[in-house]
Structure 1
Amino acid sequence: MRLVQSIDRRLKYRIVAAGIVSLLAWLSLQATSPRSPDSWSDEMREASRRMERAIAAVARHHETAGTPIDEALDPNRTGLIGPEYSPLFTTLGQLEAKRTTTNPDMAGLVVHLLRRAGVSAGDTIAVGVSASFPALLIATLTAAEAMGVHPLAILSLGASAYGATRPELNLLDIHALLLSEGVVGTAPVAVSLGGAGDVGADFDPAFRERLLQQIEMSDVPLIYEPDLRANVARRMAIYLGGPEGRVAAFVNIGGADANLGTSPLVLRAEPGLNTELALPPPAQRGVLFEMAARRVPVIHLLNIRGLALRYGLPWDPMPLPEPGTSRLRDDAGARGLRFWLITAAYFASLGLIAVVAGGRHA
């Protein structure tokens, strides 16, 4: 009996020891997990500096044109925060989210996400952007420039509140300004009106006609197709029909119907990088899902609060950080490693217990 009790005590000690080992392994993994800032590569820093120059160019334009910046809305004086309502208005928007996207380090984050998606210099990426987040267009284009990546950008001019809602400086104007300033070097491959049906059906008719005239004078091809399937097919043909033949990633900016589609499954797309998405029926798919169906990585730049939380971006910073100083993080790549290390420690502990138990029965 005493021998059995002695073995039982030793077994209990081993179980406790195994539990302590597992706990220590978990604590050490938590301590070394990448909640600390990810290192900034030279490309990320260069992208952030380019975005800072782009923002400065937009701000100078406002000064030259005599269009005042409302510091109550745009205290960092970026020139990228428009009025709440305008003829370009489509839906409500969150002011703090719009200001968060004007952080130049957003471009550094886009470089990181493109690298995580497997994009390399010389690759082509597809970009679908609504005018709700002009700063995210700048972040994506400057990231592409820093990486030596070719962006195929399709713009939509309708904007939610506080986006590119200035009629005198809409998203097409902003892109043209950046081209003329030499901040970016690639013109859009197409543009749509956005708004209802992606044809501006909810815009004032006279204003819609002005936009159509502007697009015609810009020589940027117009997408004017109210049917979702036909609209998406046109966009996919533009993205995939060039000499490149394939795209390495799709960047969605904002909530244009042609990019998101009509399925509630889009709500499952995480802000940031998505490599696998549940697919809705073809009739409900926007470009995002059509790309996912082709196994193209999707970088989803919407739900800015979630994006900031996931990657460590400061929320509504004032003043804006110096380029390359935000404490970015990305747990996604390490979550799997951490899981397997914890699992290995756990099963090692179980193995130890089994050995001791086997010794007792022997």
Structure 2
Amino acid sequence: MKRTAVYALGLLSLAAFLVLKLAVEKPPAVAEEMRRAADLMSKETAAVRACREAAGLAIEADADVNRTGLIGLQTSPITTSLGNLEAKRTTTNPDFAALVVFLLHQAGVRRGDSVAVGASGSFPALTVAALCAAEILGVRALVIGSLGASEWGANDPRFDWLSLTRCLGRSGGLSFETLALSVGGDGDTGRDMSPRGREMIVEEAGSSGLPFLEEPDLEKNVNLRLALYDRAAGAAGVRAFVNIGGGYANLGTDSEILKLSPGLASFSRLPPAERRGVIFAMAGRGVPVIHLLYIKGLCDRYRLPWDPRPLPFPGKGPLYGLRGGSPGLFLAIAAVYFTLVLGLAFWGIRGGAVRSGED
């Protein structure tokens, strides 16, 4: 009986190894999609650069050292807060589009699914990355964007977040749906920007033809956004939420947000509804959340270079060697394995005890 249990344990271990290997290894098709997304982001960045040049907007080479066109101004009327220039430059790396593909696969998103995107104007390059990833994966990107931005983001009134997405729409390489706009900034009402800057945003949003969210109450603001996402996604619902930057309505006001790691997020608890941003509201529904903030942490976790000069050639680097299985699937398989191991151990001990009693 004991020898049988040992053989069974060996076979079980071999089976578990093979299943886990298949479950966590990134299929070749995923790596290819990651490379394609990075290539597409390179092309879309060139399109943005061309849009800026056509509008007569020079690229400030001292700040935008890689001449991407995705770095804004240090200050402007629509600037909301301080920003880290190195972090903004880091996100212009086309491999961030590859990273979003990797994370969407980890979240279980499949072709034809709807993905909600909450985009702060503070990280325009991450908006480009997310839209490129969605395009390559064949998923619907449902976007709500804010027009205010921190330093070095999409804070140039002549080429803000809405100008950026319109440029991307005209390029012909991306398909996405902009559902609504907001001011952004403190309270999602622009309390931290100049009065003139807020007026400029309100005027632009009013002439855009898009719904404009002006709701200072956090819980109501979040519910408005959820309703827009739900309506656009239809019966199949939202399959993942991608948060870009530190928007008030997306993060909420609870200190729990500070515990959230960048990347595919995991949650220990959910704040009360009155302090809960879209991130936590989606998590409460069981929707996977991809949290694109704390750029240094993202780089460390997913092996991307910090403030590279020049930008890496798309499709190369340690990111493409990461394993891509679902963490939930890994835990489920591990739980089943250890349950069976304990069962075999009990069976072996019990069998040995029975035989001793018979001797």
Structure 1 and Structure 2 fold alike (TM over 0.5): yes
Pick closer, same or farther for the CA change 1:56–1:269 going to 2, 3 Å: same
The counterpart of 2:190, out of the listed 197, 200, 218, is 200
Give CA deviations for 1:261-299 in whole Å, capped at 9, x if unaligned: 000101111110024442011111000000000010000
Equivalents in 1 of 2:258, 2:85: separation in Å?
21
Corresponding position: 1:55 with 2:17: no
Equivalents in 1 of 2:205, 2:278: separation in Å?
22
Pick closer, same or farther for the CA change 1:167–1:243 going to 2, 3 Å: closer
State the match for 1:133 in structure 2.
Answer: 123
Corresponding position: 1:185 with 2:185: no
Corresponding position: 1:267 with 2:258: yes
The counterpart of 1:296, out of the listed 282, 287, 298, is 287
User: What SS class does the counterpart of residue 251 from structure 1 fall into?
Assistant: strand
TM-score, normalised relative to structure 2: 0.81
The counterpart of 1:309, out of the listed 292, 300, 305, is 300
Pick closer, same or farther for the CA change 1:257–1:68 going to 2, 3 Å: same
Equivalent residues in 2 for 1:242-261 (5 A)? 242=232, 244-245=234-235, 246-261=237-252
User: What SS class does the counterpart of residue 318 from structure 2 fall into?
Assistant: coil
Matched residue type, 1:80: L
Shifted more, 279-288 versus 316-325: the winner is 316-325
Equivalents in 2 of 1:229, 1:44: separation in Å?
36
Percent identical pairs in the alignment equals 47
Q: How far has the Cα of 1:183 moved from its partner?
A: 2.7
The counterpart of 1:84, out of the listed 61, 68, 74, is 74
State the match for 2:90 in structure 1.
Answer: 100
Give CA deviations for 1:317-353 in whole Å, capped at 9, x if unaligned: 111112211320358868869999xx99xx9xx99xx
> What is the aligned length?
331
Q: How far has the Cα of 1:241 moved from its partner?
A: 2.4
CA contact (8 A) 1:263 1:284 kept: yes
User: What SS class does the counterpart of residue 189 from structure 1 fall into?
Assistant: strand
CA contact (8 A) 2:83 2:150 kept: yes
Matched residue type, 1:298: V
TM-score, normalised relative to structure 1: 0.81
| Structure 1 runs not aligned, ≥5 long | 1-31, 355-362
Give CA deviations for 1:125-155 in whole Å, capped at 9, x if unaligned: 1100101110111111111111110011000
Equivalent residues in 2 for 1:16-165 (5 A)? 41-165=31-155
Equivalents in 2 of 1:104, 1:243: separation in Å?
28
Q: How far has the Cα of 1:207 moved from its partner?
A: 3.0
State the match for 1:279 in structure 2.
Answer: 270
Corresponding position: 1:227 with 2:222: no
Q: Which runs of 4+ in 1 moved over 4 A?
A: 36-40, 330-340
Pick closer, same or farther for the CA change 1:224–1:318 going to 2, 3 Å: same
Matched residue type, 2:238: V
Q: How far has the Cα of 1:220 moved from its partner?
A: 1.5
Matched residue type, 1:268: K
Corresponding position: 1:214 with 2:165: no
Matched residue type, 1:237: A
Q: How far has the Cα of 1:170 moved from its partner?
A: 0.5
Q: How far has the Cα of 1:243 moved from its partner?
A: 5.3
Pick closer, same or farther for the CA change 1:116–1:243 going to 2, 3 Å: closer
Equivalents in 1 of 2:61, 2:27: separation in Å?
33
Give CA deviations for 1:174-231 in whole Å, capped at 9, x if unaligned: 0011101113222310000111221223333333222222112221111111111111
CA contact (8 A) 1:82 1:165 kept: yes
Equivalents in 2 of 1:126, 1:118: separation in Å?
14
Shifted more, 124-133 versus 88-97: the winner is 88-97
| Structure 2 runs not aligned, ≥5 long | 1-20, 350-359
State the match for 2:18 in structure 1.
Answer: none
State the match for 1:326 in structure 2.
Answer: 317
Equivalents in 2 of 1:202, 1:104: separation in Å?
31
Equivalents in 2 of 1:236, 1:37: separation in Å?
32
Matched residue type, 1:183: G
User: What SS class does the counterpart of residue 158 from structure 2 fall into?
Assistant: helix
Matched residue type, 2:220: A
CA contact (8 A) 1:277 1:292 kept: no
